[in-house]
Amino acid sequence: MNNSIKQTQIILLVIIVVAGGKFLSLPGLVAKLAGRDSWVSMAIMFAVDFVCLAFILWSVYLNKGKSFDEILSDVLTPVGAKIVFLIYAFFFILRIMGGLLDTQELISSTLSVVTNWIAFILPVLFVAGFNVVRGVRNIGRVTQIFFGFIFASVVGILLLSLKNTDFSNLQPHFANGFDLVAKTALDVSFWFSDYIFILFLLGKITKTGWFSVKVSLAYLVGVTITLSLDVIFLCLFGNLAEFSSSALAKVSGFNLTGSVYGRIDWLFVMIWASSVIIKCTLFLWSATMALSYVFGIKNKKGYIILFALVGVLFVLLPLVLPIKNIIVNVFCLGVGKYVTIFVQYVIPLSMPLFTFLSNKKTNGGKNYAKQKTG
């Protein structure tokens, strides 16, 4: 498992994870909760995320080569750190399942390929697993290869849809008040804070010039793409937006020249789907890392066993539990969101302080060792 990664790869990954997967069932769900102003709810969450990202980048700046688990173990004690990592693993697994279930639905509704969950998840897990075992460096390199195609496909979808977009559908603004928009932002927070994978790269990032600025700009690019697609979705569908489960499949369907060019948008949709797979692979890597900290696994064989266990969960859980309903009712509308908010927002916001305390502890330890030996 090679977990060294280049800055460029992190930047591309940030764009991919921010935009990837947010255009499946999320726009329909947000539209259901906040109506025409749903894009504002998403914008609010992105703004909150930006603050958290800034705190994470601050801790990257402060960090003196320590990994995430070392920092948390120093500050929260090893037991506390393990509890936090368990929540992280749980959060990542839920996010991946949600994303993949939505992707399966997108493919079924777009390409008319009826695939059952097992037939869909096994090849996806195989691809993801291969990359997880090879390490985050592999995921970064795959992203470098696919990024151009994914970006072109998003531009293609935007251009195909733009022609029929009626921007007046966004009005009237705040018809149901701003409170509803803000509450919706809190309700859908589960789908955000994608950049927290950076925490698992702590100690592996080489800090060279303008890293924080570049990552922040990458984040803004991802936000712009997502919000643009969401606004177009709302403009195209207006009040009917809440009934669309796979937003991406619907948006590009408004291309009226379909009979002349064929459903070329499906090709774009499929290429875009690779961004969801990359995102899920990255989250799977993060989940595996989190579990490896919990169980103290440090060798490749251990990672493979862990991944196999997680894989079994992925295959079986959606067959016995209504995962999508659980995500919506417990982690979006229910109290479950307060558990995930802890790892999504509380930990990232505390990271600069944790890093500072951990550094101080290490320095103190060194001085103590010096005194003792001196």
Footprint (CB under 8 A) of other proteins, residues 277-306:
277
- Part in contact with other proteins (CB under 8 A); list of ranges 54-62, 64-72, 133-141, 333-341: 133-141
Burial of 37 (0-12, 13-18, 19+ CB in 10 A): buried
By the rule CB under 8 A, 152 interacts with other proteins: no
By the rule CB under 8 A, 109 interacts with other proteins: no
To other proteins, the closest distance from the beta carbon of 262 in angstroms equals 4
Q: How many residues does the chain have?
A: 374
By the rule CB under 8 A, 34 interacts with other proteins: no
Between 136-162 and 264-295, two packed helices, what is the crossing angle to 10 degrees?
Answer: 150
The count of other CB atoms within 10 Å of the CB of residue 312 is 11
To other proteins, the closest distance from the beta carbon of 254 in angstroms equals 15
Cis before 172? omega within 30 = yes
What token pair was written down for 215? 């990552």
- Part in contact with other proteins (CB under 8 A); list of ranges 53-61, 70-78, 266-274, 325-333: 266-274
By the rule CB under 8 A, 155 interacts with other proteins: no
By the rule CB under 8 A, 107 interacts with other proteins: yes
By the rule CB under 8 A, 256 interacts with other proteins: no
Phi/psi of residue 207, nearest 5 degrees: -85, 100
By the rule CB under 8 A, 210 interacts with other proteins: no
Got the DSSP string for 145-187?
HHHHHHHHHHHHHHHHHHTT--GGGGPSTTTT-HHHHHHHHHH
Quick check: helix, strand or coil at residue 144? helix
Query: What's the Rg (C-alpha) of the chain?
Result: 21
To other proteins, the closest distance from the beta carbon of 265 in angstroms equals 9
Footprint (CB under 8 A) of other proteins, residues 35-64:
none
Q: Under the rule (CB under 8 A), what is the footprint of other proteins? A: 6, 8-9, 107, 111-113, 115, 123-124, 126-127, 130-131, 134, 138, 140-142, 144-146, 258-264, 266-267, 270-271, 273-274, 277
